Chain A
């Protein structure tokens, strides 16, 4: 019996690619091509005010220049420290909050919802909110400290070198801890009871149960949270831009604010693109690291689903 083969777009083999085509095209045109363009630009001396400089090939000069630039390395180092501190704090606080809320039976749903709000706030709002809270003159923090008699002067939260960085990390942690808390709480809910009970019967104390049963089970959830977080670490740009604008005098400059300043304010697009590439590689490295961790943890947990 003769059978007609259906046209190729109806064949099962090509369907998934057809379905993914819009997504692939979108990302190709809005992300990949622009990035190739900016890669090219990072090898030119392009300045916004001199359009013809787009064709001025300078080789690795932009990279050499930024790698020789103390400000760049300061911002780079600060960004790494900022991320390390913020992510670790978010993980620890998130874990603590998840364990805390897991214990509470009454009003748990409400607490969970409230906990999610910071995650949904616009980073720009979080920044504004803490600019307001930490304002040395009218901020609620200084007002409260003064009313309680804990401090008589105005503490320069956003001006002092250390305090300003602390304030920024505080805002970042405030905004993103809930990513960890929510996901770890979901992990705790999904946790099977049997291994916990088996461990208790086997004579483990609560700390040992947590260390050897609960924590390993939570690890995939930790890595999901880390992966999600590493997707948007650069949201911190918004916060810093509102709170301090990288200032005062570059004391809170992160890689991302430095890129914006170099590219838009100083109009040195070529150099800004070179820095942007460093920041992209940084983000990809973070994401890739946690994603592979996630895959490994998932394999490890495979037996327990």
Chain B
């Protein structure tokens, strides 16, 4: 610690950091542009000037840039010195010479860092009389608007895009005051983190195009803390919603980052930022549907979609209750299918309704085995799932099979920062502070050893010291050999091979990191990765090793905790096959046609009555007898457990349109209807307390008692009726406009806001905007700081924890060390694509992950849907030549629906055919004989696709 004096007041700060960061941590206002908490200082904008005095006798002092000045004990500074104030206002004046005064039509207006800083410096009068420089704007794709005239040339966009995120298609062009930030030509920004430009840009050059379509000001957006539902990482988000008062059901307007030190920090991936539009999709369900207007009697014929009609919620609940009644009288069997993409509470409600023995996880046996194995691996106390800051500090990384750039993108962004760990160590040796960003990046150093084994080229290959593109089985073999190599006493060799190099790097590393996941659908790979991590842990002084396992869905880990390994979609199919008991299937947010092959799903659903609770009118909903519109993540409160085992609460941002409500509430309504018929809740103890549930926290508490690893859920988040500093938290900001006018067409009196019975939050402006002791942060907003740059006001220090502690509590897995993971009981291995071995003239189908394409919900988002490609089959160049296939050809595979466009790459794994996960149905199983590949059309000139 160092004591420094700012304007005659002493402050305790961490020494060695820069003065700007120290001031912001102290909550002292000091304007800046080019500095960014995650990207450090470069000294370009000159906005954060302060006066530095050499000694108490020095009265004149010298102007210094706070961001470039390391603080040392005894330093004397003045922010308020007239010279500094005049200079800072002068910098704004300079920046404003070219900035258009278009705030009223600029989408940044109201949350613009440039506006804030201009006010802070008190620059008011324009003296520049010349012409402003103007630029032409570019088309940057469906996600980002470009308005270069607003640019103040702070360079944050290229520093984020190129330096931080590894993008190669956004540059600074030209020089002097004509500098242009853009692409070489019009076109979609290729980097998967491009959406962060909208938050990194201090003004309105890069804005969110999806938000533009239905734009409102930040002050008119209602927000609440949420968790991203588009992968297993669990990034924190702040979705913004507004009801237009005219009945448009599409209330959600955008998603922005919500800081969480240990997960997403300041950045989100593009799937997470733009995927929200599924909530507004034309496929969205807003009201209950029934296959007929009559009460349910029977199911329709095999494979046929049903004619559905809207049903009043009360009637729908009554129909549902009829079926539950029948089950209670043992006339029917109730079976529930749970989901990894919805909250624990929703799953638990269904499980309670149908009974644990009738609760099946809505994933295949193959996936369930992978999830259970992953969960079991992470029980090992030697292995731990690292936080994002820990990943960024890794000094040896081995990525096995998992394409994290596409399956856990935010983790890939963290690994990209780890690539510079060796460079950062060199900077330490030269006493160059880490925040001196440009200087550290210039340093000559070796690269952090990063080894990537994958079935195709990945977006992280550019930072890898070694890559291996090969078949899943070969990755398993390599992993095993690597483990064996670690056991060999290290002998320095003249020309070490990859194996020796990687082993040596792991042995030497202070912070080794192994990354794997379920993406390749390979249990042997997970087991081998775990054994490798155990071996690294044994040899490490701490006896621990970081192992990041990427789980596929937002609540995969949660679902595993409440599910039996043996109750999954495959075992359900078997069960239904082998019995004639009339069955009612309640499907919770599960699309069978995405989890199973069409024929298998058809067969499974053939003889059951299907009640479907879901968000979108998907293939399963189209076959259902009764459909209930379920609340999406930002429309509900619930608990999700991310890949790192962190249980997080997402809060309801806005009430879903139409009759949308949380799945658990539909189930509670049904139970209440049953109880009413039976003459009281106590008459139907089988349904437990479901009928009594009114608040989601009641379910969380029940879960905490029912499942020991979930015990922390009881402590997670405030009770619905708690008061924070005597008040509830307001979702709407202090300037929310139009609350009396919005509904004036339909009602003269002001409408009462909906009451939140799950969280101590209001759907109104009443209450406190942010509760300091609980991370119930609804938006980044502080006096004088209207943009997202306000976040530092809510942190213990810049890049530190949120005041009151990071949200979320870790799952309490029972510690257990496994001798070997290979004995894990499972299904037939050879049927798994990731585990099959190619023989002569056969191919192994391998799953490929895509940021846009592999997300079930995000694929229904308008902007994302517009960039989705057709299903592809990816071949290694040698295989393609042998089969006489060219890029652009179309092929079919016998016994497997759909046609695929051929892509050919030399980085694709030989002997494999890559299929993009999540487009429609699962991969073909087993191996694909060459003879089963049939060319449909060729892309020869004149031919058509």
Physical interaction between A and B: no
